């Protein structure tokens, strides 16, 4: 496994957006290489958004089959169920914010899961359109079954990764989220 020291820099040596723009490089210092045609080409092996998306897609594929085949559910439903296990009583809007997903996908998942008896809800006293959602008893049982599948996929993904590497990676991802959320405010 490649050493992360080249990608993770001490705080005082961090590349700023202004540095990257002035140098024509990505945040990791990778250049979009000029081709003989004069057009630039992006080095996807060193482009963080591509790698994050590729890992997410590969992990989603690992769990999508068992979720679909065993439970007729998708990854979005898993995310909703998992979030409600951590934040019982959340509204659809809160789930959108917590999961960083659009309201239509969350709404479809809530209705599907509710119609199958996996969720219970309660209307808000001030606004009957606003609902708080919880896992039902069968929803909690479903969560336990899906959790085993998700944890097995995570274990396969983390093979060969040390605890220190994982902690560093998790810290970097949290910084990514902070940077992106500050940008959207």
**Counts of helices then strands in the chain (DSSP H, E):** 7, 4
- With tokens 């970097």, the residue in question is 172
Q: In this predicted model, what pLDDT tens digit does every residue of 38-74 receive, in sequence order?
A: 788 889 999 999 999 999 999 999 999 999 999 999 9
Alpha-carbon distance of 63 to 67, in angstroms, equals 6
Query: What domains can be seen in the chain, in order of their start residue?
Result: 15-53 (no CATH), 61-163 (1.10.10.10)
- Work out the angle between the directed axes of helices 137-157 and 48-71 (0-180°, nearest 10): 130
pLDDT value at position 41? 85
Whole-prediction pTM: 0.77
pLDDT band at 30 (very low <50, low <70, confident <90, very high): low
């Amino acid at each position: 496994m490649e050493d992360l020291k080249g990608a993770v820099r001490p705080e005082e040596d961090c590349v700023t957006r202004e540095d990257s723009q002035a140098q024509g490089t990505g945040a990791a210092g990778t250049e979009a290489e000029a081709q003989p045609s004069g057009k630039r080409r992006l080095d996807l092996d060193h482009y963080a958004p591509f790698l994050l998306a590729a890992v997410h897609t590969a992990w989603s594929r690992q769990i999508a089959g068992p979720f679909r085949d065993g439970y007729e559910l998708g990854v979005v439903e898993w995310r909703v169920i998992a979030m409600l296990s951590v934040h019982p009583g959340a509204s659809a809007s809160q789930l959108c914010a917590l999961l960083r997903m659009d309201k239509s996908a969350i709404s479809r998942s809530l209705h599907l899961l509710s119609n199958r008896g996996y969720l219970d809800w309660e209307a808000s006293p001030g606004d009957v359109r606003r609902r708080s959602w919880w896992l039902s008893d069968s929803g909690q049982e479903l969560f336990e079954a899906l959790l085993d599948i998700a944890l097995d996929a995570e274990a396969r993904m983390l093979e060969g990764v040390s605890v220190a590497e994982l902690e560093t990676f998790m810290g970097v991802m949290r910084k990514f989220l902070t940077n992106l959320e500050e940008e959207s405010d």
